[in-house]
Structure 1
Amino acid sequence: MGYRLTRQKIVPQSVFAKIEGRHLEIKIGPQFNEQTAKTLQQQVAEARRRMGPALSGIVIDLRDNGGGLLDQAVRSADLFLRKGRVGSARGRHPDSVQSFNASGDDVSGGLPMVVLVNGGTASAAEVMAAALQDNRRAVVVGTGTYGKGTVQLISDLPNDGELMLTWSRLHAPSGYGLHRLGVPPTVCTSGGIETVARAVEGVRVRASEIETRMARWHAQVFSDPEMSERLRNTCPAEKVIRAVDLDIARALLDDVTAYRQAAGLTKSQIARSED
């Protein structure tokens, strides 16, 4: 008896969705692959079909997502943006300069969103988080992110080796560089949070402080290692997954006033789109 084997590329699942109460909670990871954006769109559409008007918000969990395919992260963010800049890549060579702009549709119908991040959120995952935050499309909750904002090109060498070159650096829609800086959570949980209520109330009480931190972050268009370090220390990156982060996300989605205030704290001037 013989067997016929067929070689086939296996694309692992990267989108895990469930409905909790009135919320759709989606985990994306361990990284973005060829099917991520398509699967994400399908999961959101299915939840809206099943829940109808009862669906009141979406949580996107990017904790410990190490990156993966940049184009899939851009497409995933674009799913929730009707307009605006998704991000950009900039390098020394003219061909390295790219702008990623929203295509004009929101598959969620504008539902409130919270994005969870931590110190393991890196590269392409940071692009998605920054895109949704800068466009005031989502509130970011968690610790500082990893700060890996470079694009590499790999070239084959005659001796069967490979040469990896840093081709460009990734920038958020507002213009700040992601490399060695990362994405600033609106609600920082570094070091732990005593209660969910305290975290939500902190959005109201410390609004001015949060706005100032965001403004300083958005000003980092060019890399300043000393300033980047100081900013990162205001909400240190921690590679931990805390249950309270998800609880805070749910609480924000249930509190319309607190959610709107938190989303509005990102007063960024989105970089002008380039045709």
Structure 2
Amino acid sequence: MPHLSRHTAPALALALLFGGLPLAHAAQPASAAPAPAVAKDKAPLPLDELRTFAEVLDRVKAAYVEPLDDKTLLENAIKGMLSNLDPHSAYLEPEDFQELQESTSGEFGGLGIEVGIEDGFVKVVSPIDDTPASKAGIQPGDLIIKIDGQPTKGMSMMDAVDKMRGKAGQKIQLTIVRDGGKPFDLDLTRAVIKVKSVKSQLLENGYGYLRITQFQVATGEEVGKALAKLKKDNGGKRLQGLVLDLRNNPGGVLQAAVEVADHFLTKGLIVYTKGRIANSELRFSADPADASEHVPLVVLINGGSASASEIVAGALQDQKRGILMGTDSFGKGSVQTVLPLSNDRALKLTTALYYTPNGRSIQAQGIVPDVEVARAKITREQDGEIYKEADLAGHLGNGNGGADKPSSKKSKAEPRPQDDDYQLGQALNLLKGLNVTRNN
């Protein structure tokens, strides 16, 4: 487990979150936080502003065209207070709070989209693998301008999430704008989203592939098991190279990100956080164990790689443990704490920023890869009949000896992930190149 600073132990009670608010919540911590410590010297109450608030409340209640009760007006005031902070802070009503707590299991209802707000519109941070959103072709950066025909301009993120939520089997139409083009409609069917956070396989003999779709409570443990299985599948031999795929990973639980990074690091800082309250000061360092056996590593990131993904990528980049490849990451470098309130409600409040080992804040800037490789469509030459010199009648033999090599019809190989994924193919080629240079 990571070594923590002296402030870390009490702070582990905090529910520290990463990522934007998903359609039905991204992975979040299992427990919520107690109220954080507050500064002893409180500022005096702003009496003039409180009088104004009470006057506005009274005027609205008395003069608005429809009758309103105090409970509705006060809850709306709270929502207004939170909506004018950053996009990741929110007031959670009982249903939202319950779903947030359940989402750490990796199973929830919805479409499987991580969303945020940009210029008043709902923006896709990333779709989650194997969900209705990813199967429909939704991409990071897409703007959702309508939900079932209702414009999202000016809609709060919580309201947009509520409208896109629903029971499995229910249909929904999203109107999308992509790269400033013309709007188009996508018809989706809501489903129970069961997210498997870790996937792995051998790309070729000696070269492994490890994909993390989200950072859930058990992701660190699952990565350890996946690394062991990759070695077993490789005949018990140490891998020659590994691709760690964090593309379109919207983030999740802080502790899981630390544990994943720790599988690849043997010393040094992984991440630290800084905020105004004492409990927000955290430092996480690596322990000497190395589940990855220091295998050559390429980490894939893109614009859908957010928060916890950026923690892992930033730590591995700063510690020079792996080469980052792809495109700039999303740039969410803030930490959210869940603060339970009475009546089964809670605040999800941004309480800190996190920093990479070299002191970089990723907020609104993101991680820049070491090798930029944009997504590309792969086209192949059609297999046809190809003749070689050795096929020709009366051809000369090789003067240095050895058997002739005529053309042969190859049996159709099983499809591999790198065959249709340009960035992954480039990562594999880079690993092979690193091994060639090391061996020479």
Asked whether the two chains share a fold, i.e. TM above 0.5, the reply is: yes
Q: Per residue, is there more strand in 1 or in 2?
A: 2
Matches within 5 A, 1:36-185: 36-51=219-234, 52-53=236-237, 55-158=239-342, 160-185=344-369
Shift of 1:123: 0.7
Give the equivalent residue in structure 2 for 1:266.
none
Would the alpha carbon gap of residues 54 and 191 (structure 1) be closer, same or farther in structure 2, given more than 3 Å must change? closer
Cα RMSD (Å): 2.5
Q: Retained in 2: the 8 A contact 1:48–1:108?
A: no
Distance in 2, matches of 1:246 and 1:58, equals: 11
Deviation at 1:188, TM superposition (A): 1.1
SS of equivalent residue, structure 1 residue 255: helix
Task: Show the 5 A alignment for 1:227-246.
Answer: 243-246=421-424
Partner of 1:203: none
Note if 1:13 corresponds to 2:196. yes
Using the aligned pairs only, state the percent identity: 36
Indicate conservation of the 8 Å contact 1:139/1:259, yes or no: no
Distance 1:187 1:258, change over 3 A: farther
SS of alignment partner, residue 129 of structure 1: helix
Distance 1:159 1:50, change over 3 A: closer
Compute the TM-score of the two structures, normalised by the length of structure 1.
Answer: 0.69
- Structure-2 separation of matches of 1:132 and 1:80: 8
- State which structure, 1 or 2, has the greater radius of gyration over its C-alpha atoms: 2
Cα distance, 1:36 vs structure 2: 0.9
1:253 correspondence with 2:414: no
The alignment's TM-score, normalised by the length of structure 2, stands at 0.44
Q: Which amino acid aligns with 1:86?
A: I
**CA-CA distance at 1:189 after TM superposition:** 2.2
Question: SS at the partner of 2:361?
Answer: coil
- Could you list the runs of 5+ residues in structure 2 that have no partner in the other structure? 1-103, 107-194, 379-419
Cα deviation, residue 90, structure 1: 0.8
Deviation at 1:50, TM superposition (A): 3.2
Q: Say if 1:155 and 1:258 are closer, same or farther in 2 by CA, change over 3 A.
A: farther
Q: Following TM superposition, by how much is the alpha carbon of 1:258 offset from its aligned partner in structure 2, in angstroms?
A: 8.6
Q: CA deviation at 1:109?
A: 1.0
User: How has the CA–CA distance of structure 1 residues 163 and 54 changed in structure 2, closer, same or farther, with 3 Å as cutoff?
Assistant: closer
Give the C-alpha shift of residue 96 in structure 1: 1.3
In structure 1, list runs of 5 or more residues that go unmatched: 1-8, 195-241, 261-275
Q: Secondary structure at the match of 1:120?
A: coil
Contact 1:170–1:177 (Cα < 8 Å) also in 2: yes
Distance in 2 (CA, whole Å) between partners of 1:177 and 1:192 is 30
Tell me the number of residue pairs that the alignment of Structure 1 and Structure 2 aligns: 206
Q: Deviations over 1:67-121 (max 9, x none)?
A: 0111001100101111111111111223311111001111121100011011110
- Considering fraction of residues, name the structure with more helix: 1
CA–CA distance in structure 1, aligned partners of residues 238 and 337 of structure 2: 45
Do the aligned residues in 2 keep the contact of 1:87 with 1:127 (CA within 8 Å)?
yes
Contact 1:66 1:123 in 2 (8 A): yes
The 3-state SS of whatever aligns with 1:89 is: strand
Once the two structures are superposed, residues 127-186 of structure 1 have per-residue CA deviations (whole angstroms, 9 ceiling, x without a partner) of: 011111111111111110001111111223335443222111011111110111111100
